[in-house]
Amino acid sequence: METRDPSNRLNPMKAAVLLNRAPIETNPLVYTDVPIPDPRNNEILIRVHACGVCRTDLHVIEGELPVLKQPVIPGHQVVGVVEKGGTKFKPGARVGVPWLHSTDGTCEYCRTGRENLCEAATFTGHTVDGGYAEYIVAREDFVYRIPDGFDDLAAAPLLCAGIIGFRCLRLAGLNPGDTLGLYGFGAAAHVAIQVAKYWNIKVLAFTRDERHQKLALELGASFAGGGNAESPEKLNAAILFAPAGELVPAALRNMKRGGTVVLGGIHMSPIPQMPYDLIYWERSIRSVANNTRKDGEDFLDLAAKIPIHTQTQTYRLEDANAALNALKNDAIRGAAVLVP
């Protein structure tokens, strides 16, 4: 691992490091000592209190995304306190580090309020080291203040699952009284349903796992069935959080005319060939890529106001492989969170 301050070799930190991409069943994360990173210019050093586990981490680890840094420390839903660096936060301030680590601020996307599409963006736990560690550095202008109402564990899943789910909801074009299908009911959906219900939207859940169906009903879904289930009523929009391409035609079959299917993941298995009439009547399919800082700020404000209750399963940092295996096997109720 790169070190910028040789003295830090005397003062290492623990981290769960990915040396080589491999299936999570082989437990590829290595719990080891690495140097504490040093903040440069506009960066801050943060002591990690909690780091949420996201399906994108699984895609990074298993090699479904391009290798941008190796070895790399995954993790991009980081809650911690500022130790030093930068000018925006005092030491001790509680902040959250999300997936979007930086953008260039100058390209056509950044200049038009679409920094989530920036071609020079870098990503926490992918392009740069993330939060499966005792410390992380982050750009001070890309971290969020964590609202007081959330403890560290409860706040962690808000930082990607929550924000991405919120952006998916925004892009779904819903109005009060509409019906929404959520496909996959993990960390993102268990937050999104709370926002949707706050907006007076009726939510139906489609997920293969019975435990996830049960959670959806507990959180107020009017229906819970399998991924291929026929919806008891037609949907205005659907959000696919599960990375399974075969759910696209399954969701389209349940859509009203003019409905939108939003794909919330960074990776998905191939979408099967399907007849044109599934998408005719102005139905649309659109993906969601990352989020803007404004999405994050708007969502955290709203999350505090509703307020959102996240359900978390805590794992020790050294058990990061176990947490990710559980995620892959649909065995997490709500969100998994690592604690150093």
Name which position in 59, 100, 103, 261 contacts Zn ion (CB under 5 A). 103
Q: How far apart are CA 247 and CA 137, in angstroms?
A: 38
Name which position in 46, 110, 155, 324 contacts Zn ion (CB under 5 A). 110
Name which position in 34, 44, 160, 324 contacts Zn ion (CB under 5 A). 160
Nearest CA to 173 out of 113, 103, 258, 91 is that of 258
Name which position in 118, 237, 248, 317 contacts Zn ion (CB under 5 A). 118
CB 83 within 8 A of CB 106: no
Task: Work out whether 54 is an interface residue with Zn ion (CB under 5 A).
Answer: yes
Q: What share of the chain is helix, strand, coil (3-state, %, to 5)?
A: 30, 25, 45
Which residues, including other chains, have CB under 8 Å from residue 278's CB and lie 6 or more apart?
249, 252, 253
Chain position carrying tokens 């960066």 = 43
Q: Please, which residue, 250 or 323, has the CB nearer to Zn ion?
A: 323
Task: Work out whether 108 is an interface residue with Zn ion (CB under 5 A).
Answer: no
Nearest CA to 160 out of 188, 132, 135, 182 is that of 188
Q: Please, which residue, 67 or 120, has the CB nearer to Zn ion?
A: 120
Stretch that binds Zn ion, among 17-25, 83-91, 157-165, 322-330 (CB under 5 A): 157-165
Name which position in 5, 25, 33, 104 contacts Zn ion (CB under 5 A). 104
> Crossing angle, helix 161-171 and helix 187-198, to 10 degrees?
50
> Smallest gap, in angstroms, from Cβ of residue 88 to Zn ion?
21
Near Zn ion in 264-293, by CB under 5 A:
none
Q: How far apart are CA 158 and CA 78, in angstroms?
A: 10
> Smallest gap, in angstroms, from Cβ of residue 125 to Zn ion?
8
CB 241 within 8 A of CB 216: no
> Crossing angle, helix 187-198 and helix 293-305, to 10 degrees?
70
Q: Please, which residue, 159 or 252, has the CB nearer to Zn ion?
A: 159
> Smallest gap, in angstroms, from Cβ of residue 103 to Zn ion?
5
> Smallest gap, in angstroms, from Cβ of residue 268 to Zn ion?
14
Stretch that binds Zn ion, among 156-164, 226-234, 301-309, 324-332 (CB under 5 A): 156-164
Q: Please, which residue, 57 or 178, has the CB nearer to Zn ion?
A: 57
Task: Work out whether 317 is an interface residue with Zn ion (CB under 5 A).
Answer: no
> Smallest gap, in angstroms, from Cβ of residue 21 to Zn ion?
17
Contacts with Zn ion, 228-247, as mask; x by CB under 5 A: --------------------
Chain position carrying tokens 């140097």 = 35
Chain position carrying tokens 């003019």 = 258
Indicate the Cα dihedral angle 169, 171, 175, 180, nearest 10°: -50
Q: Please, which residue, 216 or 336, has the CB nearer to Zn ion?
A: 336
Stretch that binds Zn ion, among 89-97, 155-163, 211-219, 310-318 (CB under 5 A): 155-163
CB 75 within 8 A of CB 57: yes
Nearest CA to 325 out of 26, 17, 16 is that of 26
Name which position in 34, 39, 53, 56 contacts Zn ion (CB under 5 A). 56
Q: Please, which residue, 109 or 183, has the CB nearer to Zn ion?
A: 109
Interaction site with Zn ion (CB under 5 A): 54, 56, 103-104, 107, 110, 118, 160
